[in-house]
Structure 1
């Protein structure tokens, strides 16, 4: 695994773009943390969030359904349908929950996540 360092960020090589299904997600392990990576191909955007849904602490968000609420890209937990913004991690249907989001970049077919 390649790790790129700079003065303010650390980027981790997570996977290849082919590892993430179009309009879907998959989970990677970075520094002992489960990170959900989403390829929102309909919008030509990529997102990275915690894989754990804070509602029931289940590691399941990478298997959630992605879509949009207005212009906001979102993921719905596959178990209890809590929906989270893929941009800022806020819960769109319950203000008591939030997930972490991470910067993501695609470089030469490789997905990098800053953790």
Structure 2
């Protein structure tokens, strides 16, 4: 849920909350980008990132394993096990890798992503 630009956020309907499994992810195609959406239900938190893992440029992060590392919510690429902070996008086991993150808003059981 990291938004560092000074530009206004444009909210885009991505899916319904039912479309994203608890403790898992799903992918939505928004404004020409594949966006991975994560539901960390036990924590009551939602996150959105690029779906592309920068390690090998594979569109796979929505299928990655979610969890926490020292209270930091994370996702691990299902292919190469590179892990990323869901808050900041910073690589947790490779500081040279990072992903973009996007704000998430839930309203009336619908998931909106800010781009």
**Pairwise TM-score range, normalised by the shorter structure:** over 0.9
- For the residue of structure 2 that corresponds to 1:96, the secondary structure is coil
SS of the equivalent of 1:15 reads: strand
SS at match of 2:105: strand
4+ residue runs over 4 A deviation: none
C-alpha RMSD over aligned residues: 0.9
Normalised to the residue count of structure 2, the TM-score between the two structures is 0.93
**Could you list the runs of 5+ residues in structure 1 that have no partner in the other structure?**
1-6
Q: Aligned partners of 1:9 and 1:73: how far apart in 2?
A: 23
Match of 1:49 in 2: 49
TM-score, with structure 1 as normaliser = 0.93
Task: Structure 2: state its 5+ residue gaps.
Answer: 1-6
1:114 maps to: 114
Higher normalized contact order (CA 8 Å, seq sep 6+, divided by chain length): 2
